[in-house]
Structure 1
Amino acid sequence: MKIACVGGGPAGLYFSILMRRQDPSHDVTVYERNPAGATYGWGVTYWGDLLHELHAGDPESTRAIRDSSVRWSDGTAHIGDRTTTHHGDEGYGIGRRRLLELLTERAESLGVRLEFGHEIAGEAELPEADLVVAADGVRSAVRERHAGHFGTEVAHGRNKYLWLGTTKVFDSFTFAFVETPYGWIWCYAYGFSQDASTCVVECSPQTWTGLGLDRAGEAEGLALLEGLFARLLDGHRLIGRAHPGGGTSARWSNFPTLTNRTWSRGNLVLLGDAAHTTHYSIGAGTTLALQDAIALADALRGAEPGQYRLAPALAAYEKERKSALLSVQSAARLSAQWYENLPRYIHLPPHRMFALLGQRHSPLLPHVPPQLYYRIDRAAEQLQALRRLKRWLGPRLARALHARRG
């Protein structure tokens, strides 16, 4: 099969790797509009379960990704001048640039052709192929030509956010909440290498305008944020988001949640952010894109060229991924809403506030008073612990009593 993949992000590259491993006779080309080695952003996160899925598809690239990642096992929250830590939140961070380098090297070693600096901008520019994969991101030019067919819808979140880097290296997934005269502002920070971390800053529109961040230039805005998060940064700088062409910027946005009614049109199929997005606060974007690549490659196993022969495989891929995404998209919506309603939770004792932060995916939480929800949740947790103890202790007591009677 001749396959053209538009977009050389993690999803497009990993899909090309899987297809060449599946059948080396596949003719696979990845078209990436940016130069080789150029990317945007800082680090990405993923969790241990993803490594098992990637290893099943390609052990070699999985080992390289794992070895280039940093790992944490705690979550820490700084709320004003108070700090609380939760143990057991095991996760991984890796630089986006490093992830792309590893996947690019692996794809090339398997015979995938990569055409960097090649932008597919018009209908006539779509390459001749049995299958065209649109993996060109949330602003997919390929998808937008047929937005009516795909049923593309975009809903923007209320809060403003800014994606930054910092030279401060965090050894846990860290939250910091700072109160200002105009409301709260907070960040999510995590390490992705031995010398850098990602720092995503978020606040309500009222706080954003009250602090003057809507009017501040890049240098002025970063200096203001460094002052607000001085305790967290410990003298380190904040750095604007890297751009493929070089340089950085600190541009505030409202997160776009994108959905599509259908994911394919003839021999064209959507992959990753071109098909769907989920709010960054659940840290699942890269994972979901890679899982899309796995599912699409699995669905195409044994498929033959031709629009009508491909249709069942593309339909099966869409059905599987839409079903898998339902719970994740629900969790992402609830997570975004939790932060949009932060004043409801921020004045709880830190350990309780952090506990409800971990429960922000619950559909009940917005409708139950926070203190009551916390008490119910703790009681349920203790009950589960007692049940686990009973299951563990029961057989042992029975054996002990049997031995004593003997």
Structure 2
Amino acid sequence: MKVACVGGGPAGLYLSVLLKLRDPSHDITVHERDPEGSTYGWGVTYWRGLLDKLREQDPESARAIEESSVRWSEGVAHVRGLTTRRAGDEGHGIGRHRLLAILAERARSLGVRLEFEHEVRPENLPVADLVVAADGVHSALRTRHADHFGTDIRAGRDHYIWLGTTKVFDAFTFAFVETDHGWIWCYGYAFGPEGSTCVIECAPKTWTGLSLHTADEADGLALLEKLFADVLDGHPLLGRSRADGSAQWLTFRTLTNRTWHRGNLVLLGDAAHTTHYSVGAGTTLALEDAIALARSLHEHAALAQALTRYEQQRRQALLSLQSAARYSAHWYENLPRYIHLPPHQMFALLGQRHSPLLPHVPPRLYYRIDRAAGRLEALRRLRRRLGPKVARAVHARALASRE
């Protein structure tokens, strides 16, 4: 099969690797409009479950990714001068540049052609059996047929900016800062010994009240460094300004499509769907899309059947995470509802932000219910573990009393 993959991000590169591993005779070209080694963002995050899946698919690239990643197992929140730390699931961070380099090197080693600085336009698609639109949320290939795909894009309320810092966080870090114009907060996680990703977010009235909407990048970073001085420990924030020097503030766009394929054109990764960055799943979903598409193409000889099956599987797999992402974004958009709780309670509810019940229950009551449920579940686990021993002890006592 001849495959043209438009977009050299994680999804497109990993798909090319998996297709070549399944059938080396596939003729695969990845077309990327930007120069090799150039990318947006700083680091990406993923969780243990993804690493297990990558090992199943290609142990060699999985090993390289793991060796280039940092890990953490705690979260820390800074609120009103107080710090709260909680144990959590094992998380991983890796520089986006490093991840792309690993996947590009692996693809080349398997015979995939990588064409950088080569922009593919909708009116001039490569001749191929399969064209993969892995060209991101702004996908030109999808936009050309937006009516067919049923593309729906919904903008979130809050403003955010994707930054880096030379500060290496030792845990997944949250910091909430109160200003005269409302709250502003950041999420930070390390991606290597050279630094961390730092995403900063605030409500529209805070954004304009702090004049971040008019500040150029240099002035905006200086203000943000001052606001988050306690967690940055003197380290600078690093931006990536536009040509005119303006800062890259965004509002998150949740993208969905009614269908993911048209003829021999199929959507992959952010071209097909997005989930709010606060759940940290974008790269994971892109790689899982690639796994599902490669498997479906291998299992079904008919292209239409393979693409339909891929879409069905991924839609089903995305349902729970998309719901969690919506509730997560909603939690931050309603931060004043939670921010005045004692910090340990606020942090606990931050961890529960995916719950569909949380927005409808008073926060303090929800916290007490959640704590009680946790203690009850711990007791149940203890009883299940000790049950046979307890039963034998009670039986032995009963026999002794009869004697």
TM-score range, shorter chain: over 0.9
Partners of 1:398 and 1:241 in 2: CA distance: 65
In the alignment, residue 364 of structure 2 is paired with which amino acid? Q
- Asked if the contact 2:276–2:325 (Cα under 8 Å) also holds between the matched residues in 1, the reply is yes
Secondary structure at 2:138's aligned position in 1? coil
Pairs within 5 Å for 1:287-298 = 287-298=284-295
Partners of 1:203 and 1:342 in 2: CA distance: 10
Relative to structure 1, the CA distance from residue 247 to residue 45 in structure 2 (aligned partners, 3 Å threshold; closer, same or farther) is: farther
Give the stretch that moved more between structures: 113-122 or 191-200. Answer: 113-122
Provide, for residues 290-340 of structure 1, a one-character-per-residue CA deviation record: whole Å limited to 9, x for no partner.
Answer: 000000011111444xxxx21111001000100111111100000000000
TM superposition shift of 1:402: 6.3
1:250: which partner in 2? 247
1:321: which partner in 2? 314
Secondary structure at 1:253's aligned position in 2? coil
1:396: which partner in 2? 389
TM superposition shift of 1:36: 1.1
Relative to structure 1, the CA distance from residue 270 to residue 21 in structure 2 (aligned partners, 3 Å threshold; closer, same or farther) is: same
Q: Is 1:380 the equivalent of 2:377?
A: no
Relative to structure 1, the CA distance from residue 239 to residue 247 in structure 2 (aligned partners, 3 Å threshold; closer, same or farther) is: farther
TM superposition shift of 1:398: 3.3
Root-mean-square deviation (Å): 1.6
Overall identity of the aligned pairs, in %: 71
Please report the TM-score for the alignment, with normalisation by the length of structure 2.
0.96
Unaligned runs of 5+ in 2: none
Partners of 1:61 and 1:49 in 2: CA distance: 16
Pairs within 5 Å for 1:96-111 = 96-111=96-111
How many residue pairs get aligned? The number is 399
Provide, for residues 135-173 of structure 1, a one-character-per-residue CA deviation record: whole Å limited to 9, x for no partner.
Answer: 000000111110110000100000000000000000100
Secondary structure at 1:212's aligned position in 2? coil
Secondary structure at 2:99's aligned position in 1? helix
Secondary structure at 2:298's aligned position in 1? coil
Partners of 2:60 and 2:85 in 1: CA distance: 35
Partners of 1:10 and 1:80 in 2: CA distance: 38
Please report the TM-score for the alignment, with normalisation by the length of structure 1.
0.96
Partners of 2:2 and 2:12 in 1: CA distance: 15
Relative to structure 1, the CA distance from residue 56 to residue 95 in structure 2 (aligned partners, 3 Å threshold; closer, same or farther) is: same
In the alignment, residue 352 of structure 1 is paired with which amino acid? Q
Pairs within 5 Å for 1:118-157 = 118-123=118-123, 125-157=124-156
- Asked if the contact 1:39–1:242 (Cα under 8 Å) also holds between the matched residues in 2, the reply is no
Pairs within 5 Å for 1:7-26 = 7-26=7-26
TM superposition shift of 1:401: 5.5
TM superposition shift of 1:59: 0.4
- Asked if the contact 1:47–1:90 (Cα under 8 Å) also holds between the matched residues in 2, the reply is yes
2:206: which partner in 1? 207
1:30: which partner in 2? 30
TM superposition shift of 1:282: 0.3
In the alignment, residue 24 of structure 1 is paired with which amino acid? P
Partners of 2:255 and 2:10 in 1: CA distance: 18
Secondary structure at 1:90's aligned position in 2? strand
Secondary structure at 1:300's aligned position in 2? helix
Unaligned runs of 5+ in 1: none
- Asked if the contact 1:240–1:249 (Cα under 8 Å) also holds between the matched residues in 2, the reply is no
In the alignment, residue 187 of structure 2 is paired with which amino acid? Y
- Asked if the contact 2:216–2:246 (Cα under 8 Å) also holds between the matched residues in 1, the reply is no
Q: Is 1:277 the equivalent of 2:274?
A: yes
304, 325, 341: which one aligns with 1:311: 304
- Asked if the contact 1:281–1:335 (Cα under 8 Å) also holds between the matched residues in 2, the reply is yes
